[in-house]
Amino acid sequence: MELIKEDDGLEPVSPTGQYFNSKVMSVSVLGILELEIPIDDSQAMALIKDVFLPINPRFSSIMVIGKKGARKWKKVEVEVENHVHVPSFSSPKGSSSPSENDSFLKSYISQIAKQPFPQGQPLWEVHIIKCPTSEAQGTVIFKLHHALGDGYSLVGALLSCLQRADDPSLPVTFPSVNKFSSANNDDRNIGLPKVVSGCFLPLVNTVRDFGGSVLKSTCFKDDLSPIRCGLESFRPFSLSAISFSLDRIKEIKSRLRVTINDVITGVIFLATRLYMQRGSPNSNLSSNSTALVLLNTRNLRDYKSVKDMVRPNSESPWGNNFAFLHVPIPKVKPSDSEFSNPLKFVHKAREAIKRKQSSFGVVLTGKLLEMMKKCRNPEVVARHINRTMRNSSMIISNVIGPMEKLSMANHPIKGMYFTVTGTPETLQVTMISYAGNLRVVVRAEQGFIDSELYTRSLHDALDMILHDACGKQ
């Protein structure tokens, strides 16, 4: 990282940006767009220069160390050609089929995920895959360092480069956050017991959550299991994806009177225990396993555009504005080995998330990290965050996407998904909604977790919950 003597006027790097670009870990977001037609990369280059770069000054800046050791963003001239890569896939036979290209693409994603960004260049890359796969005629991969912003910011930046496929003159629309995160509320008459519990329970939950978070980051670890190997080193990963109909998920939501996020989390929890049983029939389904669920800490009612994010004093500011919730994965008792009550996974997920959101544990954890940074340095905080992830079993992240089909430089987009790289957990599940579907991506440690078996377990878990909630298969 470049050392500079004069740093007046340079924008400081946020604390989270420093943690995610440290000696301990370098975290990036990979946003993948699947196109319906072959790619004209000349149009893509123009889009990057004229639309992508102007979105935010950080895309034209490098991270430097100032005169007092503080990290700053320094604006530089960007050579777009150095950031755009167009690989070619070829098989020993000279030509490859779409199914073979699927394997090449997965290997390529795993390869670029572990490669560091070149020194002295802004922290982003674009990879244009012209070879057709079973899912698309072409694929565009945006690799964006997490120091630039969180998933909400970065996905918002990508969407700013896109237009509606049906009518480019119309704005892209997003589902209300309330529709994703608000359930029906029947508490019309709140009596004294609820008022008392409303004052007392947040305090109890705060003590429990903050204490549990500290212990999880220091001395307590999840049990070793088929989804957690406990090794210290970063290892290659495999990707596998599945699509769910949002209408099906909304149907379950309405029947159970929960939120969409409750349903999704319940499906993932049930799938995880199903996978553990199928992958290792003798595994302990009552193991202590925890999911780190990413929580957007912006105070939002609706999704905001990037223009709104970069405005001064925005209510949804650009940057890293999220926190982790430690949510235990429900246990399966030996007497319940056949998973006779799938709906309990949804209700348990709702109960745990609702309880944690009613406490101030996340706020206190944030204050603790600030104190650690002031008393020690960002590297100490980065090690603390890294240990928190490593001591847990999996990470779950969800981003709201557009309601309509989009296009990029007149290339219709069939599907989109994202994953996060550079983090130490064995299993990660990321989700984004797009044009009526929810794309779920499993990033799993290669050679330890069978990502294809896990995605099949996700499919079966949704089927089981849909059948019990709505009487449908």
Average pLDDT (335-343) is 76
pLDDT confidence of residue 185 = 44
Cβ contacts of 374-382, under 8 Å, gap ≥ 24: 378/15, 378/18, 378/19, 378/22, 378/71, 379/22, 379/23, 379/24, 381/15, 381/19, 382/18, 382/19, 382/20, 382/22, 382/23, 382/24, 382/25
With b meaning 16 or more CB within 10 Å and e meaning fewer, what string describes 388-410?
A: bbbbbbbbbbbbbbbebbbbbbe
Residue bearing the bigger pLDDT, 459 or 316: 459
- The yes-or-no verdict on residue 10 having pLDDT over 90 is no
Burial of 51 (0-12, 13-18, 19+ CB in 10 A): middle
pLDDT confidence of residue 187 = 42
List, for residues 34-81, the tens digit of each pLDDT value.
999 999 888 888 888 988 898 888 999 999 887 777 888 999 999 999
pLDDT confidence of residue 181 = 55
CA distances from 16 to 29, 146, 251, 254, 318 (A): 14, 9, 37, 37, 12
pLDDT confidence of residue 184 = 45
pLDDT band at 11 (very low <50, low <70, confident <90, very high): confident
Average pLDDT (362-386) is 80
| Furthest C-alpha separation in the chain | 76
The HSE-up count of residue 350 (CA atoms within 13 Å, CB side) is: 18
pLDDT band at 316 (very low <50, low <70, confident <90, very high): low
Q: Which residues pair with 73 in a beta bridge?
A: 11, 63
Sequence-separated (6 or more) residues with CB below 8 Å from residue 297: 321, 322, 323, 362
% of the chain with per-residue pLDDT over 70: 82
Which string of DSSP letters, residue by residue, matches 109-150? HHHHHHSPPPTTS-SEEEEEE-S--SS-SEEEEEEEEGGG--
pLDDT confidence of residue 297 = 64
Residue bearing the bigger pLDDT, 419 or 150: 419
pLDDT band at 406 (very low <50, low <70, confident <90, very high): very high
Nearest to 419 by CA among 15, 112, 42: 112
Point out the least confidently predicted range of 234-238, 273-277, 397-401: 234-238
Report the alpha-carbon angle 78-84-89, nearest 5.
165
- The yes-or-no verdict on residue 265 having pLDDT over 50 is yes
pLDDT band at 318 (very low <50, low <70, confident <90, very high): confident
% of the chain with per-residue pLDDT over 90: 41
pLDDT band at 365 (very low <50, low <70, confident <90, very high): confident
Average pLDDT (190-201) is 45
List, for residues 147-163, the tens digit of each pLDDT value.
998 877 887 788 888 89
The domains found in the chain, sorted by start residue, are: 2-164 (3.30.559.10), 177-401+423-470 (3.30.559.30)
- Is the separation of the CB atoms in 71 and 64 below 8 Å? yes
Look-up of token digits 């699927």: 102
- The yes-or-no verdict on residue 193 having pLDDT over 50 is no
Point out the least confidently predicted range of 94-108, 181-195, 353-367: 181-195
What mean pLDDT is reported for the chain?
83
Nearest to 291 by CA among 325, 335, 263, 240: 325
- Residue 46 three-state SS: helix
pLDDT confidence of residue 255 = 94
Sequence-separated (6 or more) residues with CB below 8 Å from residue 119: 1, 2
pLDDT confidence of residue 378 = 82
Point out the least confidently predicted range of 105-114, 157-166, 185-194, 361-370: 185-194
- The yes-or-no verdict on residue 93 having pLDDT over 70 is no
Residue bearing the bigger pLDDT, 400 or 124: 124
Angle, to 10 degrees, between the axis of helix 451-470 and the axis of helix 246-256? 50
Tokens representing residue 415 in the block: 């599907």
- The yes-or-no verdict on residue 246 having pLDDT over 90 is yes
- The yes-or-no verdict on residue 230 having pLDDT over 60 is yes
Average pLDDT (396-415) is 91
- The yes-or-no verdict on residue 276 having pLDDT over 70 is yes
Q: Record the pTM.
A: 0.87
Q: Which residues pair with 126 in a beta bridge?
A: 84, 142
pLDDT confidence of residue 199 = 52
